[in-house]
A and B are shown apart, each in its own frame.
Chain A
Amino acid sequence: MELTLSILLGFMIIGAIFALHAKDLLSAVIAAGIVGYSLVICFLLLKAPDLAIVQIVVETITLIIMVAVVLDSTRQELSVKIDRQQIINISLAVIFMLVLVFFFIQAINTLNPFGEHSLRMASAYVGETASKTGSANLVTGVLFDFRGYDTLGEATILFTAAIGVLTILRIKGKK
């Protein structure tokens, strides 16, 4: 199990590195699609079918939007020369990464090993969702009953994003 996941994650890392270094923006977008679709397989292996369904549809729609934008503008990647600003950026990135690695090492020591998660907080959810809400799918039960505020916030963000896109992309006013 852990080996399969590691291979998939390695595949995702290779796709991500290629996406950042591709000379053609269209191939960069498609390489980002590799990462997203590998994520679907990871979700299926980790016993999360709800997430797999959502992710495969959402990734397809994201890819359609990105390809439409890239084909509409330009496919050329900028020719990047190494100058002073670029060196400053790279060193800043390395410093940030080292700081994050330090905190990651601290955090990983407190985590349980993979596959031995303790249901400390979720035991109430797992035990009572079915009897209290009558929902057979525990994820839906948690999402719409115990964690209703999160769902409301999510719907609000989606609404705001749609309004924002409409506002940004409007050239002619509505009569």
Chain B
Amino acid sequence: MTTPLPKGRSRWLTNPSSVAVPLGALLGVFYVARVVTLPEGTRGWFAGLVILLVGGFNLAADAYEQGRLRTIRGLGDGTISSRPDTLERAAREASQAGMTTFLLAFACLGGGSLILAGLWYLIASPPLAVAVRVGLVGLLLGPLTAVMANLLVLPRARQVIEELMAAGLSREALATALPGREGLRRRLVIYAGVGAATPMLLVADANLHRWFALFERLAQQPDDAAARLVLAAEQSAGTSDLILLGVLLIGTVVLCGWLAGNALGQPLKRLGGETERLAQGRYERGRVVIAEFEPWAAANALSAMEAHLLDALVGAQDASKGIRTAAEELVENGAQREQGAAEQSAALMATTATTEELARSARQISANAQRVSEIARTTLLAAQAGKDSAEAFTSAMGQVRQGNQAIADSVVKLNKRVQQVGRIIEFIDGIADKSDLLALNAELEGHKAGSVGQGFGLVAAEMRRLAENVMTSTREISRLIEDIRDATNAAVMATEAGVKATDTGAGLATTVRDGLGDIVEFANLSADAMQSISLATAQQQAGSDQLVSAMEDINRSTRKNLESAGEMARTQGELVGVSRELEQAITTFGGTRS
């Protein structure tokens, strides 16, 4: 929010010079009127010239000053827009206004008095010494008037610069427009010198003039009595004029001193106020105390310091907010971490229990593996014994097969013999049958022969009975041979079946032997594998025990972590409180982002 520069600020700024110059001229006229005795007939010209020159110089000086302040005038009239460059130029004009006024006042008084003396001498022809004294009075009063005008203009110039800042002039542009110069000591020396020298010189001039006038009158007296009368008259004439002049000069000097003190002290006072404000922490961006010379450097540095402090405070506030936000996040994260640590602790507890269970299982597995390994070795031994038995059984089966084969061969031979016997029996039976038939025919023939053949018939009958007995025996033998043949056939078949069974048994025994061999091999491998498994399970058991120990360590660490998380959460909560207090403190010190 900017405020335009008020109208007429250039005129208001130069008004003190318009007052100071006539005032100085009036003081000079008063001094000349009281101290310098103007010749008769020249006083009118003197007064006219004074008025003319004072007015003319005042108008010329005012015109010059207005020309020097044209940017300020344009900003006030609105003919010049408020831009950074115009504001900076206006600030530069305002800052130079004091020196301009000083020089113009000095020029008006000093130069004006010399011009007055010269014109007055040329026009009214006063004594040259009087004209010179008039000119010297102006030269003596010129610095005092210039100082007074300068001291009157300085506060107004500061106010105009503050108004320019309100109109948008930046502090940086103001620092550029008002370069810091170390001239305060010189300026004080000038003020002191002018303030002390001007009254002294004027009083000395007045006294010297009076003394010279007295000496001249005394020298013109004819005797001592007349001289005493002159001295008495001089004494009776009093010193009222001199006292009045002195008072006036002292008043002028005091006024100058007051103005100087005010002009120099006001910035210092404001600086003190600003410093106190800063000490109270009430920072405001863009505030600067307008001053000159070293106070300006101090004010500028103070403003820069305030700006830097504000930046730092804003940064600190941002940092504080960031810290608070981070702390709050830390609190939240801490709570989550605490919760996570608790969950982790619970999970680790469960994991520890599981690990212990795993370790127990590993120990049980190790013991089982050991037992299985022993069983595997026992199985290996049993398989080896079985293999040996199978081999012995196979050998025995081979012997049985050979025996069966021998039996079969014997039975076959027996069968052949029986068949031979059968054939013999059949032959005998045939013979018996034929014998029977022969005996029957013989008996028949015997009966045919009658009584002669009766005995023959009896013999034939007996032979027939023998033949029939033989045939009966051969039939019985044939049946026996048939039974023997059936038995031998059955024996042969049984023997062949036995041989086949023996072969099958031998094959099975071989298969069993091979299988047992494989079993032995596999049992051996199993025993080795179980040995390896037993070793592995033993190592696993050791690893499980170590894992249990490690899990217990982790569990302890997790519990400590949980405790630390809780402690950290409390610390973070305290950190949040501290960050809020810090943020509140920074806000209190004015650290708000503008």
Q: Do A and B bind each other?
A: no
Chain A residues within CB distance 8 Å of chain B = none
